[in-house]
Amino acid sequence: MAAGGPVKLVAYIRVSGAGQVSDGYGLDVQEKAVRAWAKTHGHRIVRIVREEGVSGATEALDRPGLSEALLMIREDDAEGLLVPRLDRLARALTVQEATLAIVWRDGGHVFTTDTGEVHQDDPDDPMRTAMRQVVGVFAELDRRMVVKRLRDGRTAKRAAGRKSVGAYAYGTHGEGEGRERDAAPNPAEAATVARILELRAAGRSYRAIGEQLDAEGLRPRRAATWSAMTVRSVCQKHGAA
């Protein structure tokens, strides 16, 4: 297969979380980009592997989707790997370079929709490798800065007495954006909380309260029935333990 001819591609698209959907670069946008690029350049996509909720710093072997794409190249089911950008492949330089080396070792090509083919290292052109790795370094820096901003935000929220991490207690949900996000009453669960407190005030045990809620069709957030411990946690949250 000539490098300049049509290539049989496996496309790999990835998001690390919901944030990339809201910032306009979700999986659907990435899929459109790889399909359009392949069509424009006369290549054929034989498979699109989608991976959601996976960090770009995760090793290839720990990503089922990327591992599947690399295996297709190794077994000649595909001749090249196509990604929207190199940072979709990896946001840690070591992971980026290791993944590229695997593809090249198995005789495959790597393409991105923004720069075209990522050419193999050439001892007569050291700038090629240097420029690629500089881009990888900045992708890794960006990831680390995002992590730091999130950590700083959680620290600031804790200092201000607001909820910073974890699930919101039954009867509350998150409101606001960014650092201003905090727990607020959840109207959908408020009636159940009121019923729990009413039954507790009447002297009912946690187990009895749970059985009564089940009988009344009032469900907990993530289970089919109420446990005594779940009822107890709601009572403790509202000072009725």
Asked if 13 and 131 sit in the same domain, the reply is: yes
* CA distance linking residue 25 with residue 84, whole number of Å: 10
* pTM: predicted TM-score of the whole model, two decimal places: 0.55
User: What span, in angstroms and rounded, lies between the C-alpha atoms of 146 and 49?
Assistant: 26
How confident is the chain (241 residues) per 10-residue block, as mean pLDDT? 74 76 73 96 95 75 85 94 90 86 94 91 73 62 59 60 59 65 74 91 92 92 86 85 71
Q: 101 in a domain, yes or no?
A: yes
Give 160's DSSP letter: T
Whether 186 and 89 map to the same domain: the answer is no
Q: What is the pLDDT of residue 91?
A: 78
Do residue 118 and residue 216 come from a single domain? no
The closest alpha carbon to 17, from 48, 66, 49, 51, belongs to 51
Q: Tell me which residue has tokens 């995760």.
A: 58
Residues 182, 120, single domain; the answer is no
Number of domains into which the chain is organized: 2
User: Alpha helix (H) ranges present in 106-186?
Assistant: 126-159
Question: Is 233 within the bounds of a domain?
Answer: yes
Which amino acid type is present at position 217? G
What's the domain range around 194?
172-237
Q: Are 42 and 120 members of one domain? A: yes
pLDDT score of 238 = 80
Task: Verify that 27 and 93 share a domain, yes or no.
Answer: yes
Q: Where are the alpha helices (DSSP H) in 84-201?
A: 86-89, 93-105, 126-159, 187-201
Q: What is the pLDDT of residue 165?
A: 47
Say whether both 62 and 18 belong to one domain: yes
